[in-house]
Amino acid sequence: MAVAPTFHVIPGSTVKTVIENNRKKVFEAVEAAYRLHAAGDSVNPDSYFLRFPDKPSSRIIALPAHLGGAVQKSGIKWISSFPSNRASNLARASAVLILNDGETGYPLACIEASLISSTRTAASAALAAEHMTPDPFTGTLGVIGTGVIARNTVEWLLFRKWTFSKVNLFDLDRKEAEQFAKRLREQHKIEAEIRSSIEETLRDSSLSLFTTTALEPYLSDEKLFAHAPTVLHLSLRDIAVNVILAAQNVVDDVDHCLKAKTSPHLAEIATGNRNFLAGTLVDVMEKKVTPDRNKARIFSPFGLGVLDLAVGNYVLDEAIASKAGIALPDFFSNSARW
For residue 159, the model assigns a pLDDT of: 98
For residue 258, the model assigns a pLDDT of: 96
Residue 273 clears pLDDT 80, i.e. is over it: yes
Q: Which of 167, 152, 89 is nearest to 311 (CA)?
A: 152
CATH 3.40.50.720 is right for the domain spanning 132-300: yes
Lowest average pLDDT, out of 86-90, 132-136, 204-208, goes to 86-90
Q: Which residue has the higher pLDDT, 89 or 143?
A: 143
Q: Which of 313, 316, 321, 320 is nearest to 70 (CA)?
A: 313
Number of Cβ within 10 Å of residue 145's Cβ equals 23
For residue 335, the model assigns a pLDDT of: 84
CATH 3.20.20.10 is right for the domain spanning 7-116+305-328: no
Residue 1 clears pLDDT 80, i.e. is over it: no
For residue 256, the model assigns a pLDDT of: 94
pLDDT tier for residue 287 given thresholds of 50, 70 and 90: very high
User: 138: phi > 0 → left, psi -120 to 50 → alpha, else beta; which?
Assistant: beta
The domain locations on the chain are 7-116+305-328, 132-300
pLDDT tier for residue 210 given thresholds of 50, 70 and 90: very high
Find out whether 170 and 197 touch, Cβ atoms under 8 Å.
yes
For residue 151, the model assigns a pLDDT of: 95
